[in-house]
Amino acid sequence: MARNLTKMYYVYLLKLGNGKIYTGSTPKLEERIAEHRNGYCESTKSLRPVKLVWYSCFEDRLAARRLENYLKKGSGQAFRNRHLV
């Protein structure tokens, strides 16, 4: 039986302890979320606890990065707030 060895890339949204939303991307979602939760990420360690509120996966790293960048900007933030969180 053949196994699907395609590497997946994830875009994710975290709700931070201060109520704000953090947007990130990674090829290893579970590990990255654990890093955020355990305080290993400079950008979120003082804003714990964090809660994963949304994610999406892609086979293409560039597509994941494009969505991440879009969700971090004005109209992307508005879309995120209306439809994803």
pLDDT band for position 6 (cuts 50, 70, 90): confident
Is residue 2 included in any domain, yes or no?
no
Look at residue 1 and tell me whether its pLDDT is greater than 80: no
Is residue 41 included in any domain, yes or no?
yes
Tokens coding 6: 């395609």
Between 5 and 77, the higher pLDDT residue: 77
User: For position 63, what pLDDT does the model report?
Assistant: 98
Look at residue 24 and tell me whether its pLDDT is greater than 80: yes
**CATH code of 26's domain:** 3.40.1440.10
Is residue 4 included in any domain, yes or no?
no
Is residue 3 included in any domain, yes or no?
no
- Cα(71)–Cα(80) distance, integer angstroms: 6
Is residue 14 included in any domain, yes or no?
yes
User: For position 2, what pLDDT does the model report?
Assistant: 52
pLDDT digits (tens, 9 = 90+) for 31-63: 999 999 999 999 999 999 999 999 999 999 999
Q: How many domains does the chain have?
A: 1
Is residue 35 included in any domain, yes or no?
yes
Is residue 28 included in any domain, yes or no?
yes
**DSSP secondary structure string for all residues of 28-39:** -HHHHHHHHHTT
Domain assignment of residue 51, given as a range: 9-83
Is residue 68 included in any domain, yes or no?
yes
Give the CA angle between residues 61, 8, 20 to the nearest 5°: 75
Tokens coding 24: 């990130």
